[in-house]
Amino acid sequence: MRESAGMKTFRIVTVTVLSVFVVVPLYVMITSAVKPLGDVQGQFTWWPSNFTLQPFVDIWKTVPLGSYFVNSLIVSTAASVLSVIVAIFASYAVSRWRFRGRGAFTTTILSTQMFPGVLFLLPLYLIFININQTFGIQLVGSRLGLVITYLTFTLPFSVWMLSGYFDNIPRELDEAAKVDGASAMVTLFRVVLPVARPGVIAVLVYSFMTAWGEVLFASVLTTESSRTLAVGLGEYSTEVNVYWNQIMAASLVVSVPIVVGFLLLQRNFVAGLSAGAVK
């Protein structure tokens, strides 16, 4: 099929405008990361006049970036993988079975998205402390506490989004599998999930990024040993100085693995498309 001229113009304009919007801040980040602090604080220039890689060396000394990165990675991975697994089961159930309380369940899920996080913080902290005192499970200051917190953030939306995708998958697929003698589990994993792969990946990415970027809860619920990047990057702004160039350098360093991960996933995305074709 040939593309019309109007479509082509639209595509070029859209892509150009959005690229500029996305790239300019990134460009500023990159160039600021290779300038000495004095230049960064001075008048903005497109090109660094005194090129230096020193910020990339200094970032590890100013802030324990490495351990924050590991914390963020563990927390975000655990939270997103758990979230997706639970969401797959829950939304398959919501999508395929009409059980009593289905409506109430969906409404509860929705309402959780409306509660301002700020109000959640204090009660959650108190509950964590009570759990600690009753069961001896350390939640405040541990990564586990953060994982649970982020699960509560991401799960409702994941369930909701994924059941939307499942709803779009024709039930005939399930029926066909059933006729072939497949159990519900087998149907889910062999038949439905491959089709819903883009949706699953989208939910995974969403959960991961929510956990990756969250600031408020992480700032209260973590201690030095479990602190995540989102909070840790703030430590380049100290009592004595704001190390703009190091903030930018550190942001770049920690973004690279994530962007690479996106790159890998987006291949998967395309693969998901062909695999998803109904055979």
Partner 1 sequence: MRLRNFAAVATVAVVLVATAACSSGGGTGGTAGGKTLTYWASNQGTSIANDKEVLAPVLADFKKKTGIDVKLEVVGWNNLQTRINTAVTSGVGPDVVNIGNTWAPYLSATGAFLPYDSANMTAIGGKDKFVPTALATGGEAGKTVTSVPLYGLAYGLYYNKKMFSEAGLTPPTTWEEMVSDAKKLTNASTGVYGMGLEAGSYTENVHFAFITAEQNGASLFNGTKPDFTSTGVVSGVKRYIDLMQTDKVVNPSNAQYTNGTEASADFAKGKVAMIVNQDNADALLTSNGMTSSAYGVVPIPSPTGGKNVSSGIQGINLSVFKNTKNKDAALQFVKYMTSASTQGILGKPYASIPVLKGVTPTFTDDAAIAKTFSDVYNNRSRPYPLVPLEGAFETNVGNALNGMFATIATKGTVSIADVKTAMQAAQDKTNAAG
Partner 2 sequence: MVLELFIHVAPMVVGIWMSFIKLTQLYIANWSAAPFLGFGNYSVALDFNAAQGSSLLRSFFTTCIFTIFVVGISWVLGMAAAVALQRSFWGRGFLRTLFLIPYAVPMYAGIIAWKFMFQQQTGAINFILSSLHLVGPDTKPFWLIGSNALVSVIVVAIWRMWPFAFLMLMAGLQSVSEDLYEASALDGARPFRQWRSITLPSLGQVNTVLLLVMFLWTFNDFNTPFILFGGNQPPAGDLISMHIYNASFVNLSFGFGSAMSVLLLLFLLIVTGIYLFITNRRSKDA
The count of residues interacting with partner 1 (CB under 8 A) is 54
Dump the DSSP string for 38-82.
Answer: HHHHSS--SS-SS---HHHHHHHHHS-HHHHHHHHHHHHHHHHHH
Using CA atoms in the order 263, 267, 268, 269, what is the torsion angle rounded to 10 degrees? 90
Closest distance of CB 97 from partner 2, Å = 14
Out of 57, 60, 138, 164, point to the residue binding partner 2 (CB under 8 A).
Answer: 164
Q: At closest approach, how far in Å is the CB of 270 from partner 1? A: 27
Task: Say if residues 217 and 118 touch (Cβ distance below 8 Å).
Answer: no
Q: Report in angstroms how near the CB of residue 181 gets to partner 2 at its nearest.
A: 28
Decide if 231 contacts 218 (C-beta within 8 A).
Answer: yes
Per this entry, what is the length of the chain? 279
Site string for partner 2, 186-215 (x = CB under 8 A): ------------xx-xx--xx--x--xxxx
Treating both helix axes as pointing N-terminal to C-terminal, what angle do 65-96 and 102-112 enclose, rounded to 10 degrees? Answer: 150
Report the distance separating Cα 257 and Cα 165, nearest Å. 28
Separation between Cα atoms, residue 48 and residue 39, nearest integer Å: 8
Which residues between 101 and 120 bind partner 2 (CB under 8 A)? 108, 110-120
Applying CB under 8 A, among 155, 177, 204, 221 the residue interacting with partner 2 is 155
Interface residue with partner 1 among 81, 131, 173, 205 (CB under 8 A) is 81
Q: Which of partner 2, partner 1, none binds 74 (CB below 5-8 Å, type-dependent)?
A: partner 1
Give the interface with partner 1 as residue ranges (CB under 8 A): 37-38, 41-42, 61-64, 71, 74-75, 78, 81-82, 85-86, 89-90, 93, 97, 99, 121-122, 125-126, 129, 132, 138, 140-144, 147, 183-185, 219-220, 223-226, 231, 234-243
